[in-house]
Amino acid sequence: MLHWIRRQFDAHPVRAVMVVFAAYTVFKINLKFFAPEGPWWRGWHDQKQYLQSARAFLRFDLSPDQHWYPLLYPLAGTPFAWAPTPFVPINLACYALAFWGFHRVCARFGVGSFAAGLLFLAATIGDLRISKFWLEPWTTTMSAAFIWLAFAEAADMMFGTRRRPWLLGALLAGIALVRPADVVVGAVIGGFALWRPVLMERRWPDLARAIGGAAAAFLPYAALYLAIYGWRLTDYTLLSGDYGFAFGDLGWKASILLVDPAPWFPGETGLLRELPWLLTGAAGLILGVMRLRGPARWLTFCMALAALIYTAMMLAYVDLVPSGMWRFFNAHYFKWLFPMAALFTWLLLTWRDLRGLVVVAALVLLASFRIVPRPAMPQEPAKALAFAAPAAPWQDIYFARSAVVDARGAQRSPADYHQLWMGDRVMAIAFKRPFAGDARWYGVTPSSIATWPKGSGKAEVVLPGRWPQRPVARYATKLEFGYPCWAPPFPCRTGPGPALPRN
């Protein structure tokens, strides 16, 4: 039996992987395929927006208020928008395309079809929560497919076996159109793929074909965009820009998202505790750059740089916080990286290179640092402020359009800082700049103090109480080093209050 299964993976790798994933999809979603109320995700914000957009396309409704997110993923679901689960067929197709690209990349490192299939399945459905990122409708499913196909096309160009710059250009444009934040990944892939043929070999037709492929993907999308929104930015784009990126405190953000968020966000866990093999995957990438030669080395460097830049951007994104990583499933931002980590963990083991142990040890030591709160001095800027909690549900506190006004101006929740219920306190945690002196919290914010773009927080929430309030405690940051909090027996303490209730 095992021999037959292996032969199927070797002979028909995409079909074999899709049989497993399709069976898993049917098992998890079950009869909700046909139930009028749909699966568990139908009431969620993002998924409702995708469905609304797809159904609007089905009836040729181009009203801007029907289309919140970038258009490509909802447009793909339009033929199935009449069904309770219109995006399941799209997710199945994207999963197949993502694996096809991954399989082709694996072949460049000497990894066979059977191992590639097992690695991809392990990285995508081996963990229940990770598997839901591929079952549920998310735009990252389509962008992951385009990213892995783009890696495969770039590998072909680097190895000189096949040049299809027109397809690479179309894929890179597709990456940016599905998720604009992923444009940095496409830029890295395109740069590595076209560096040699264009800049070294002066193959200008390759560049022209790549631009032509990108234009062929972009121009129809642009026409549809203009038909819906005209010459203006979408509300979603304005909201994302209002959140923005805060690169000035990237070390603290890496600490709370990767290593240990509990001192600041009680009850939450970092990516390394949930997926420790991400660290060995990073070690494999570093070792690959060190030991490989020729096109394989450049391909590894391309993948490592794309992963590094993208991860830094996501860590800096203000709206990516530990309380949303698993509660609101924001970890799906990273799902295209998980198969890469699985591949290079496998290569790290099969290479049996002692330098790999050194790299792993160095990364473990680096991940043994964490940034924790400490009481702030009276005149010192504060990373977090504690206030007396109003009598309101935690969701209202979390999403309220509140503001903290200090000596440097106003900061808004959730656009500039995030506020959490912690028992009898509310903790306001700064993300764009520290809180200065003379801080006051407005649970209900007058419009003369601050305004929010559409979709930011919940305008209908009114927190009870007398405003403004002064903080009852102020916290700054402190760097600690010790046994890694993400490793068993998970020894680190939690934060200053109770955790948010689980969903």
pLDDT attached to residue 32: 60
Residue 493 lies in a domain: no
**Residue range of the domain that includes 390:** 373-481
Closest CA to 350 of 266, 414, 408, 292: 292
CA 366 – CA 361 distance, rounded (Å): 9
For 267, the 3-state DSSP assignment is coil
Q: Looking at the domain assignment, is residue 502 inside a domain?
A: no
Last residue of a domain, one of 362, 382, 399: 362
> Please, what's the b/e burial string for 260-275 (b: 16 or more CB within 10 A of its CB; e: otherwise)?
bbbbbbbbbbbbbbeb
Length of the chain as a residue count: 503
**Cα angle value 48/54/56 (rounded, 5°):** 100
| Helix, strand, coil tally for the chain in percent (to 5) | 60, 10, 30
What are the distances in angstroms from CA 494 to CA 87, 88, 390, 498?
39, 39, 23, 9
Domain boundary, last residue among 296, 329, 362? 362
Residues 54 and 182 in one domain: yes
Q: In this predicted structure, what is the pLDDT of residue 498? A: 55
Give domain status of residue 367, yes or no: no
List phi, psi (to 5°) of 387.
Answer: -130, 160
Strands 403-406 and 384-388, sheet pairing:
unpaired
444 and 350 together in one domain: no
Cα 473 to Cα 384: distance, rounded to the nearest angstrom: 8
208 and 110 inside one domain: yes
239 and 220, same domain (yes or no): yes
Would you give per-residue pLDDT tens digits along the chain (503 residues)? 777 878 888 788 999 999 999 999 988 887 566 666 678 787 889 999 999 999 999 999 999 999 999 999 999 999 999 988 899 999 999 999 999 999 999 999 999 999 999 999 999 999 988 999 999 999 999 999 999 999 999 999 999 888 899 999 999 999 999 999 999 999 999 999 998 888 777 888 999 999 999 999 999 999 999 999 999 999 999 999 999 999 999 999 999 999 999 999 998 999 999 999 999 999 999 999 999 999 999 999 999 999 999 999 999 999 999 999 998 899 999 999 999 999 999 999 999 999 999 999 999 999 999 999 999 999 899 999 999 999 999 999 999 999 999 999 999 999 999 999 999 999 999 999 999 989 999 998 888 899 999 999 999 999 999 999 999 999 999 999 999 999 888 877 665 555 544 43
Rounded CA-CA distance 104/338 in Å is 16
CB 220 within 8 A of CB 228: no
Burial 359-392 (b: 16+ CB within 10 A, else e): bbeebbeebbbbbbbeebeeeebbbbbbbebbeb
Kindly write down the DSSP assignment for every residue of 240-260, as one continuous string.
HHHH-B-GGGHHHHHIIIII-
In whole angstroms, give the CA distance from residue 320 to residue 332: 11
Are 284 and 399 found together in one domain?
no
Residue 212 is assigned to a structural domain of this protein: yes
Same domain for 398 and 278? no
Residue with tokens 């040049």: 163
Give a yes or no: residue 500 inside a domain. Answer: no
Residue 498 lies inside a defined structural domain of this protein: no
Q: Point out the domain boundary residue: 309, 334, 362.
A: 362
384 with 339, same domain?
Answer: no
* Shared domain check, 348 and 463: no
Domain presence at residue 403:
yes
Q: Is the pTM of this model over 0.85?
A: yes
Determine phi and psi for 458, rounding to 5 degrees.
Answer: -125, 110
322 and 460 in a common domain: no
Query: 349: buried, middle or exposed (CB in 10 Å: 19+, 13-18, 0-12)?
Result: exposed
Peptide bond into 489 cis (omega under 30): yes
Q: Clarify whether residues 64 and 179 are in a common domain.
A: yes
Query: Cβ–Cβ contacts within 10 Å for residue 44, how many?
Result: 14
State how many domains the chain has.
2
Indicate whether 395 and 344 sit together in one domain: no
Same domain, 128 and 207: yes
User: Would you state the structure tokens that stand for residue 69, as one six-digit string?
Assistant: 């997110």
Exposure letters 449-460 (e unless 16+ CB within 10 A, then b): ebebbebbbeee
Q: Which two tokens stand for residue 308?
A: 């590094």
- The pLDDT score that the predictor gives to residue 189 is 98
CA 284 vs CA 134, 217, 466: distances in Å:
25, 34, 55
Question: 368 in a domain, yes or no?
Answer: no
- Enter the tokens of residue 491: 């020894």
Alpha helices by DSSP H, listed for 329-424, are 337-351, 354-366, 394-399
